[in-house]
Amino acid sequence: MTEKLRKDEDATDLPRLVRREIAHARRHLGGMDEDPLLAVHEARKAIKRARSIARLLRPADREAARQLNAAARRAGHVLAEARDADSLEELARAMARHCEDLAMRRSFAEIARRARADSDRIDRAAAAEQAARALDRMDAALAGASPVEDPDALVVKGLARTYRRAAKRLDEARGTPDGEHLHDLRKRAQDWRYQGSALKRAFPDGVKRQKSKIDALVDLLGLHHDLTRLAARLDNLAEAGGSLELVEARREDLAREALKQADKIFDRQPKRVKKALKAGV
């Protein structure tokens, strides 16, 4: 769950919010021996939330924000290989369970087996150590960041920038609704989701109205991304049967639905959104 500003906090407390997410990531990394799959998954989510919230600090100190972003990217990157292998295996096994065609079921089962082999080769302990060092760099960047002097202006600029970037990615995805462009849209939609959740108690009118819609959009785009990776693996499988066609058809359905949902969220002119945010704070 995303850390949120409390009733007695405002945007000057955003660094504290980022630190709390970093602490969550550290705690999950500490559970690597007990449940490595869950530890990697939850640590990555906390790092993504920290990175999204930290982006709001950019107008206050661009250099500190750049350092935070670079360190968070590194922390997430070293865990990505393990998480991608685990999620691919989960998806392939689910597809196999729900597929009646024997040849297609075998194809999905083979992809799951290969993903499990990839997962078994990953040194999760080493990845956790690298991620922890990157989290240290995030803490250091926060410690050296300039204080927030105008919290309302910071929130307006940060959220307006996030919305503008998401609207741009949506426009690009409409023109080319492939895996790359839809994944870029997902990343910007996640920023809007996490930032809105973090700020909704302090600025309820400006950011929380479409919470369920953005959650649904991110989930749709996440499944599309997973199916894109599954399709790539099936494309390299000698005997894929009709499994690739099944996955591609599902991807097309998801792309259409995701773009329809995104249109409802990012359909306003960014300048009007910025004006509404100013009125909200």
**Mean pLDDT across the chain, nearest whole number?**
91
Q: Go through 198-221 and write b for each residue having 16 or more CB atoms within 10 A of its CB, e for each that does not.
A: bbbebbeebbeebeeebebbbebb
Q: Structural domain of residue 175, as residue ranges?
A: 11-280
Token pair 């690009």 is at which residue? 172
What integer pLDDT is reported at residue 77 of this predicted model? 94
**Tokens at 127, concatenated:** 């990845």
Burial of 79 (0-12, 13-18, 19+ CB in 10 A): buried
**For helices 102-120 and 211-235, angle between their N-to-C axes, nearest 10 degrees:** 100
What integer pLDDT is reported at residue 208 of this predicted model? 60
- What SS3 state is found at 123? coil
240 vs 171, residue with greater confidence:
171
Rounded average pLDDT over 241-262 = 95
182 within a domain of the structure (yes/no): yes
66 within a domain of the structure (yes/no): yes
- pLDDT at 76 > cutoff 90: yes
pLDDT in tens, 114-127: 999 999 999 999 99
CATH number for position 217 = 1.40.20.10
5 within a domain of the structure (yes/no): no
186 within a domain of the structure (yes/no): yes
| Tally of structural domains, the chain | 1
163 within a domain of the structure (yes/no): yes
2 within a domain of the structure (yes/no): no
Name residues whose C-beta falls within 8 Å of residue 33's C-beta, 6 or more positions apart in sequence: none
Q: Residue 199 in contact with residue 155, Cβ under 8 Å?
A: yes
- pLDDT at 112 > cutoff 60: yes
What integer pLDDT is reported at residue 241 of this predicted model? 75
Supply the pTM of this predicted model.
0.92
3 within a domain of the structure (yes/no): no
